[in-house]
Amino acid sequence: MSAGTWIIVGGSSAIARACARRVAAAGADVVLAGRDRADLEHSAADLRVRFGVDARVTEFDATNPDAPAALVAGVQQAARPLNLLLAFATMPEQAAVEADRALLRRGFAVNLVAAAALLDSFAPLLEAQGAGRVLVFGSVAGDRGRRSNYAYGAAKAGLAAFVEGFGARMAPAGVSVTLVKPGFTDTGLTWGKRGMALAASPESVARAALAAVAAGRPVSYAPWFWRWIMLVIRLLPGRVMRRLSI
C-alpha cells in the first residue's frame, strides 16, 4: 500500500506543521487546508523540498458551511488512501466569550460543528476506500468543565463524544479514528502565558499523536503523562473542582 495522502485541516498550527513533516517524512503526500494561504504555501514548499512529496494548499474556512463538501471534492485526485487530520480550533479567552455571545457561538461552530461536519463529509469516502486513518486533536480542556475555559472545553467534550462514535462507525471499514488530547504545548497559543515552562514541543506532541494513530488507539494524551494528570482531575469531586481556579 502506498503512503497515500494526509489531508491536514488547520495546517498553520505548530502541531499540524510538525505532524505534516512526520507524515511527509514517511512518504505521504500532503494537502494543507486552512485560511492563511500565504503561510500554508510556505509549509507546503517545505514538505516538497525536504521530503520530495507532493504537497499542496487548499483554502478551508471552518465558519463556511460549504467548506467540508468543497474539500472532499477537491481531494478526489489525491493519492489513496486518504487520511484526515483535524487541527483547527479557536480559543478566545473565557472572559471574552462571556462578554460576547457571538464568540460563544463561533467557538461551538468552529470547534464542534465544523469538525463534526467535516468528519461526516468524509465518511462515505473513507468507508469506500476501506482503509485510512483519522486523527482529531481534542483537548484536555474537554475532560472537565473548568472555570477558566469551559466554553472551549464544552465544545471539545462534544467533539470527543462525536469522535468516539465516529470511530465505531468507521471501524468495520478498516478506518482507524484517534482523538489526541495535547497538554500544554509550546505554540503561539501558549507563548507568553504563565506556567508554560514545562510545555511540550510541537514535535514531541506530533510524535506521540502519530504513534497513537499507528497503534490504532481511539484516545490518547500527548505527552503521555497528561493521562495521569487528567485522571486525577477527572476524579476530583465537583465540589473541589468549583473551588479550584483552574
Backbone angles phi, psi at 38, to 5 degrees: -60, -45
User: Which residues of the chain form contacts with other proteins (CB under 8 A)?
Assistant: 10, 12-14, 34-36, 38-39, 42-43, 45-46, 49-50, 62, 88-92, 110, 187-189, 191-192
CB-wise, 47 or 175, nearer to other proteins? 47
Classify residue 16 as exposed, middle or buried by CB count within 10 Å of its CB (0-12, 13-18, 19+). buried
Instruction: Give me the least distance between CB of 13 and other proteins, in Å please.
Output: 6
Rounded to a whole number of angstroms, the minimum distance from the CB of residue 174 to other proteins is: 30
Strand-pairing partners, residue 133, are: 176
223: left (phi over 0), alpha (psi -120 to 50) or beta: beta
Smallest separation (angstroms) from other proteins to the CB of 90 = 5
Residue tagged active-site, from 152, 162, 166, 221: 152
For residue 115, give Cα distances in angstroms to 64, 166, 203: 12, 12, 23
Give catalytic status of residue 221 as yes or no.
Answer: no
Close Cβ partners of 104 (under 8 Å, ≥ 6 residues apart) = 97, 98, 151
Q: Which is nearer to other proteins, 101 or 243 (CB)?
A: 101
C-alpha dihedral, 129 to 130 to 132 to 133, nearest 10°: 130
Rg (CA), the chain: 18
Q: How far is the CB of 241 from other proteins (least distance, A)?
A: 27
Pick 129 or 204: Cβ nearer other proteins: 204
Work out how close the CB of 84 gets to other proteins at its nearest, in angstroms, rounded to a whole number.
16
92 versus 145: smaller Cβ distance to other proteins: 92
- Checking DSSP bridges between strand 219-222 and strand 82-86, what pairing results, if any? unpaired
Closer CB to other proteins, 17 or 144, in the complex: 17
**Contact criterion met (CB below 8 Å) for 159 and 112:** yes
Active site residues: 152
